[in-house]
Structure 1
């Protein structure tokens, strides 16, 4: 092989390696920057049929316990209903995937009350407003991705 061609290949190879190292460094920097990220999730709960009681929201970071086992949720907030839509804010959330379950707790007992057939008698809803028929949605059906400093979502309550 000609020494000039060999030298050109080494220089080009070096340039490719430098480019790859630059890209890799940028990726690593952006991942470490995201590790320290915290954002705010604002939930507007619409369709509240009256101002009795409170609206409670539970946020889950994984599928285990979603949506009924609030003790497995990441955070829970309840707020008295003064205005409709009701706003509930979760702060200092790391970037990631979450699902939210909301209920209109009319009697303030912290439970989604049900009739004798097991049907909810209080309003409920989920992030991404998935279709609900005879069972609650799966985590993936309600999952949202929080990546910005301020994320807003709207949840429409359902009443049976």
Structure 2
């Protein structure tokens, strides 16, 4: 009987979802058009470089405060970057100096001063259910 219980426990843990839930509230959305694009990084190597996020999520903007619930990240260390792709061209449009023309934000609500923030500034631990409030910068 003990063997059957252990076997069933193993099967349940294999198929069960033990990933923590990450809830992201995006605040300070000024227009109800386009999408919020979220990039998830788990290392400082290539942080914020195009095409290297380990996961990307896209949500259509239809509220002033959007919420996305992420359930497919295993426990670990992460950093998020996001932007409001108002014109739905799938890129964060920038001016000639490289400064985003579309609203953007980072985990820990890091506000860049003279350059992009570092992974260290934006990182957080996801070991249990967590909620992040990220305020878009304009």
TM-score with structure 2 length normalisation? 0.82
1:119 alignment counterpart: 99
1:61 alignment counterpart: 42
Query: Which structure exhibits the higher relative contact order, with contacts defined as CA atoms closer than 8 Å and separated by 6 or more residues?
Result: 2
Larger radius of gyration between Structure 1 and Structure 2: 1
**Runs of 5+ in structure 2 lacking a partner?**
1-16
List 4+ stretches of structure 1 deviating above 3 A.
Answer: none
Map Cα deviations across residues 14-40 of structure 1 (whole Å, 9 max, x no partner).
xxxxxxxxxxxxxxxxxxxxxx94112
**Runs of 5+ in structure 1 lacking a partner?**
1-35
Q: Do the aligned residues in 2 keep the contact of 1:57 with 1:88 (CA within 8 Å)?
A: no
Query: Structure 2: how far apart are the matches of 1:39 and 1:53?
Result: 28
Query: Structure 1: how far apart are the matches of 2:28 and 2:19?
Result: 29
Q: Do the aligned residues in 1 keep the contact of 2:30 with 2:64 (CA within 8 Å)?
A: no
TM-score with structure 1 length normalisation? 0.72
- Residue 89 of structure 1: how far off its partner (Å): 2.3
Please state which structure has a larger fraction of its residues in helix: 1
Q: CA RMSD, aligned part only? A: 1.4
Query: Structure 2: how far apart are the matches of 1:118 and 1:62?
Result: 23
